[in-house]
A and B are shown apart, each in its own frame.
Chain A
């Protein structure tokens, strides 16, 4: 998510392919190192949609179709 842009595709790849997974891992780390939060939209056992915050690439479910990065929360006025 970016101001003035909305959704921006950062990287895409297949985690079953080692080279593409490595690219995804590096991009994931780069986004988190720049201070962003990461979340994966998931569907719980009851069928309801929710989100899972992830702090490392290993936390991302293997079958996740996307990870969304957004600015970290800060106390507002």
Chain B
């Protein structure tokens, strides 16, 4: 009786082995994968800060002085578009000048320069798949520089590489509108500063000194004038 049961069990096992063995192998590989030590890179804020410092120095050495000051003061860079009818797939600009806003690790935003109408968001990433420290993301300023170089070097190619979305998908239109207003104010303040510095050689005269004083107050005083 016992022998018969054992023989039956053996036959049943043999018949079911096709079903059981793959599951056993899968469970074993899962177990091994759980125990395998993945190369772990702890987040090192010092390393990331040093990388960002180097990236900022590189960015500063490549872009125009105005663009560097814009990034330093406002956190983004504006790059003028160079195509006659605006970026591809954005519906055309009718020849109106347009520009891009470059934020670190955010989509590139295209907008009409005069009306500030938002055209489109271009989602693009520069990921390093070698992940030298576990992450594929470049430092913030390197991401901005990569976008700047790709836009100024080959705008059409970069836009073709990006995923285009309607404005407002990731970047809050209200925030972008505010950033454009900040940019306008910032540019006005720079123009006033430039005019004031030109006036300084004449500072001995009453008129030149007066202009300089007015310029000192304006950056704060006309903040509500819109832009």
Which of A's residues lie within 8 Å of B, judged by CB?
1-7, 35, 37, 39, 41, 48-53, 68, 70-77
Interface residue? B178 (CB, 8 A): no
Question: Nearest 5 pairs between A and B by C-beta?
Answer: A6-B54, A4-B133, A76-B123, A53-B153, A75-B163
**Interchain Cβ contacts within 8 Å, total number:** 126
Interface residues of B in 113-147 (CB under 8 A from A): 123-129, 131-139, 141-142, 145-146
Question: Given A6-B52, A6-B53, A7-B57, A1 and B135 touching (CB < 8 A)?
Answer: no
> In the complex, A37→B67 CA distance in Å?
22
Interface size class of B (residues with CB under 8 A): 35 or more
Select A1's contact among B41, B48, B145, beta carbons within 8 Å: B145
Chain A residues contacting B101 (CB-CB under 8 Å) are none
Q: Mark B169-182, 1 if CB is under 8 A from A, else 0.
A: 00000000000000
Question: What residues of A have a CB within 8 angstroms of the CB of B135 in the complex?
Answer: 3-4
Beyond the given A3-B128, A4-B135, could you list 11 further A-B residue pairs with CB under 8 A, ordered by the A residue number?
A: A2-B132, A4-B41, A4-B132, A4-B134, A4-B139, A6-B54, A6-B55, A49-B63, A70-B149, A73-B157, A73-B158
